[in-house]
Structure formats: C-alpha cells, structure tokens
Structure 1
C-alpha cells in the first residue's frame, strides 16, 4: 500500500534520515512517508521485532527497505554505536526525527525518583544524545535537519509532570541547538503533537480510556488528530521548503492550548481528518472520536 503523501515523490531522494521510535505509531507512519519520498530511512528503537515488522511493510510497499538498529537511546554508548552503524554505508545523515518517548499517568506526589528519571531520560536525555551524536558524527561536517517531537505541555501537564518537564526541556534544547549548530548548516525544530489517535494510547491502562474518549470535547476541532497529520508536519520541517525555519515549534493539536473556559465552542463535524497512510493505527475505543 503506497503512502499518499502531499509532498513530491522525489523530495528526499538520496537522503539518509534517522527515525527513533520507528517501530510504532507516529514514528512508523513518518518512516513510511519518508520512504515513499525517496529517503533511505534508518529505523531506531528498542524492540527489534517491531522494527523488523515496519521494515517489511515499507519493503512490501515497494520502497527502499530501511535499515534497522536496536538501541536504547538513553544509553550513551549504544547511541554512539548505532550512529556509527548507520554511517557505515558511507552516506551522511541528513535528517533526524527524535520521536522516541514515553510516559505514564501519575500525580507528582506519587512519582518515584526512578520513575521520574526514566521518563526524563527517555524524553529529554535520549533525544539530546541522539542529536548530539548525529551532529558530531555527520551533520557538523555535512549539514542537516533535526526535528524533535514534544507534546502538548503548554501551561502545565497535570498527571504527567515528569513528561511535561522533559518536553519543556527539549523545547529549550531545540532553540539552543538551532543557534549553536546554525553555522554548520543544521536546522533544529520541534513538532508538538496534541491528542493523536496513535498506537501510543493503547499503552495506557484501560481505566484511562473513558478519559481519552471525553477529550475530543475539549478540542476546538472536536476530534483527535491523525498520525498522518503529525508526519506531514515533521516531513515539512525536514524538507527544503523549511530552509529558513529553525528554532521553532510547530503545534499539531487542534488549537487545544488556545481554548478558554469563557468561550464555548459548539459541537460540530466540520474538521475533516487528513489520512495518507492506509496502515495508520486504528484505536477501537476512539473510532467515534477520530472520525
């Protein structure tokens, strides 16, 4: 099944792009889209079986099979080894999608030190290590583009304070790296997905599903976003069309952070989801919300 991208089919021909967290959800979707546009994709993730499954999907669609690299991005030595493996082909890394991440639901008072550090290392430290290594090993000499994936952490993130703190840190890292690495021809931006109907939602306990089902009412567009909508934002920021965009964050959230309690938005079905990926994750308990 071919990816129905809005970008031209040769937009990334000859480019090698690393996608972390490429075994599922937004990372999987983005890897498919980039492959459909001619990129040589390097899938990075902790689960080799998931990476292999995505690689088979991409190959079956007729695109260049991606390379697979099992790696815990929180481990500095593994990151260095993984980047070296990717570069072993002799081709520089032109793009990095820092997508790997994760968190769990808990109030601040109940988060242990281990839990806090696990989330911060995954969502902040790991992204820093991947970006720094790609820069040192390739982009410093050849240029490139980095897109860091954040989350809707604007104003606060109750119930996920560890993730909110890490994502806010990644935003500042994005802004700082955009300045420090500009002279090397490297652009650094971020994409902040809001409530997206992605495979990541299935990792939360079933008791959280009623809450997810209610969330669409708080979205001005009255629906969840799609993986394709996030991927399109990532691909744009990696592309030559974004050549003068660096140090910024593109929100993909249906205007949730702009909503105000003193302004009622009537229920509607005027916002039509953009879906370009036939294999996009289907979340059964969100079907009525994501239409």
Structure 2
C-alpha cells in the first residue's frame, strides 16, 4: 500500500521539506504524505529511534527521508541542525513546525519549570526553527512555512501553558507572514482540533474517559484523522496556496462554534456516511490510538 493523497503525484519533486516532531502522530503522517508526493523529507526531533523508524517506513514505501536529532528549544542546536540540513541537501523549500507537547494541569498547579518547558517547546522552539530556515535559506530563495497550533479559541482550561504558547504561535505566524513576504516566504498555521493521533496515548489512564467523550462536543460527531490534518498542511505548502499567508486553517469539525444553549445534535448514521463528513483515511500506516479502541 501507499499513501492515498488527494494531491497530484510529484507535487513536491526536487523539494526539501523539514518536519519537526516527525517521529510520531501528525508529524509522521505529514512526512509520509510529503514524501509520497516527491519531497526529500528531513525528520527533526529529540528521539533518534522514532525518527529512524519513520525514515525506514518512508523508504520502504519508496520515498526519501533523512533524520536530524535536535532539541528545538536550544538555539545553538537549531542553528547547527539547519546548517547541517543545508549542507547535506542544498535547500529547504518547506518547513512544518510540528514539534510540541503539553500535559493536563490546572493553572494553580503548574510550576515555573513546567510552564517554561511547554512554552519553550510549543512557541520558542517553533520560532527558532522558522527563524533559522528563513535566515539561512528562505530569505534568499523563498519558501513556505506551516506552524502547527491547536484549538485554543476560548483558550485551553486545564492546559493553560499550551493555550498561551499556541496563541503566541498564531501571533508569530501573522508577524512572520508580514515581515518575510518581501522575500517570497509564506507563513501560515494549521490548528488541529480533536484528532485521533498517537499523542492521545501519552496522557495518564485517568484521562481516558474524558478523551473518549470529546467527540460528543464536536458538531461533526467524530474525531479528525491525522490524514485530514496533513492534507491541510500540504495544501498550505502547495502552489495552490500561493496567495495565502498569515492565516490559520482550522481542522476541527466546527468544535469552537459550540456554545451554551445551542441544541447541538450529533450526525445520525445516515448523515455520518455522507462524503462531506466521512473521515478521510489517506494514511495507509495510520492506527487508532489505544485509548479510543478500548
């Protein structure tokens, strides 16, 4: 089997795409799709074993993938890894700023260290990688950047550190789009809602009932898929989005529109089978998170 992308084959031929957080979840899926469309993908992350495993998957599927171990929170490490990617591959046409992470905690329990760790990963790290890709290549040659944020409209109770960081990344996206447009660089963001991704299995067991129930707050009545998120990312990187910059594309089934007093009804069985809301399962290696299959 191969990735069932809706985009044209060879769309990213001769291009180099960097995907941070490429060892799992949405990053892994996006790397597979970009490679299936002809890109030389470079997977960046802290866990070398995971990166190598995804690179082998892509190679087995006929694509090209390289790996680069890097903690995106460390400025010198980011500078070095971007330089190394350019030395090895000669260009960086696209960046998917996907590395991130958070944990469930009310604000009053979050330590300064915990706050800084989440903000550093989800905001500072993304800024550093984007800045270096721009400085070292895109400023002179153009390119496209997609930052991955989250459904933080209405903020994120129980994940206030992540909500603050993601909101900051939206502002960074808008600022970078304005400042870097003169160099032919487009900067956008994708905001995934409740996506059935491997990241769900990283939360503690006591969170499982809440995670399984989240789909009931989504007007489309289900979780999104990694492939649906990847498709949004790939679109924003593609020539079809050449006049789109500084925006956020939500992939959330209208979740932020839920309001008190609105008589939301989940789609019935017949409606759920309509092509307009049927899940897109393009990722041939995608699996259901364990917490959702229990």
TM exceeding 0.5: yes
How much has 1:92 moved relative to structure 2? 1.4
Q: How many residues align?
A: 287
* 2:281 alignment counterpart: 275
> Which secondary structure state, in structure 1, belongs to the residue aligned with residue 211 of structure 2?
helix
- CA distance in structure 1 between the aligned counterparts of 2:175 and 2:27, rounded to whole angstroms: 24
**Residues 33-48 of structure 1: pairs in structure 2 closer than 5 A:** 33-48=33-48
Any stretches of 5+ residues in structure 2 without a counterpart? none
* 2:154 alignment counterpart: 155
Asked if residue 57 in structure 1 is aligned to residue 63 in structure 2, the reply is: no
CA contact (8 A) 2:16 2:89 kept: no
> Which secondary structure state, in structure 1, belongs to the residue aligned with residue 62 of structure 2?
coil
Asked if residue 286 in structure 1 is aligned to residue 292 in structure 2, the reply is: yes
- CA distance in structure 1 between the aligned counterparts of 2:287 and 2:112, rounded to whole angstroms: 33
**Residues 90-109 of structure 1: pairs in structure 2 closer than 5 A:** 91-109=90-108
How much has 1:230 moved relative to structure 2? 0.3
- CA distance in structure 1 between the aligned counterparts of 2:115 and 2:235, rounded to whole angstroms: 33
Report runs of 4+ in structure 1 exceeding 3 Å deviation. none
* 2:247 alignment counterpart: 248
Return 120-129 or 278-287, whichever deviates more: 278-287
- Residues 43-74 of structure 1, C-alpha deviations (whole Å, 9 max, x = no match): 0000000000000000000112x110000000
How much has 1:262 moved relative to structure 2? 1.6
How much has 1:266 moved relative to structure 2? 2.0
* 1:17 alignment counterpart: 17
How much has 1:123 moved relative to structure 2? 0.2
- Residues 121-169 of structure 1, C-alpha deviations (whole Å, 9 max, x = no match): 0000000000000000000000000000000000121000000000000
- CA distance in structure 1 between the aligned counterparts of 2:213 and 2:15, rounded to whole angstroms: 41
- CA distance in structure 1 between the aligned counterparts of 2:287 and 2:69, rounded to whole angstroms: 22
How much has 1:264 moved relative to structure 2? 1.6
- CA distance in structure 2 between the aligned counterparts of 1:285 and 1:19, rounded to whole angstroms: 26
How much has 1:272 moved relative to structure 2? 1.1
- CA distance in structure 1 between the aligned counterparts of 2:82 and 2:291, rounded to whole angstroms: 38
How much has 1:80 moved relative to structure 2? 0.7
How much has 1:90 moved relative to structure 2? 5.1
- CA distance in structure 2 between the aligned counterparts of 1:118 and 1:143, rounded to whole angstroms: 31
How much has 1:260 moved relative to structure 2? 1.7
Question: What TM-score, normalized to structure 2?
Answer: 0.96
- Aligned CA RMSD, in angstroms, stands at 1.0
Question: What TM-score, normalized to structure 1?
Answer: 0.97
**Residues 1-291 of structure 1: pairs in structure 2 closer than 5 A:** 1-64=1-64, 66-89=65-88, 91-268=90-267, 269=269, 270=272, 271-287=277-293
CA contact (8 A) 2:201 2:290 kept: no
- CA distance in structure 1 between the aligned counterparts of 2:155 and 2:217, rounded to whole angstroms: 16
- Residues 69-123 of structure 1, C-alpha deviations (whole Å, 9 max, x = no match): 0000000011011101100135210100000000000000000000000000000
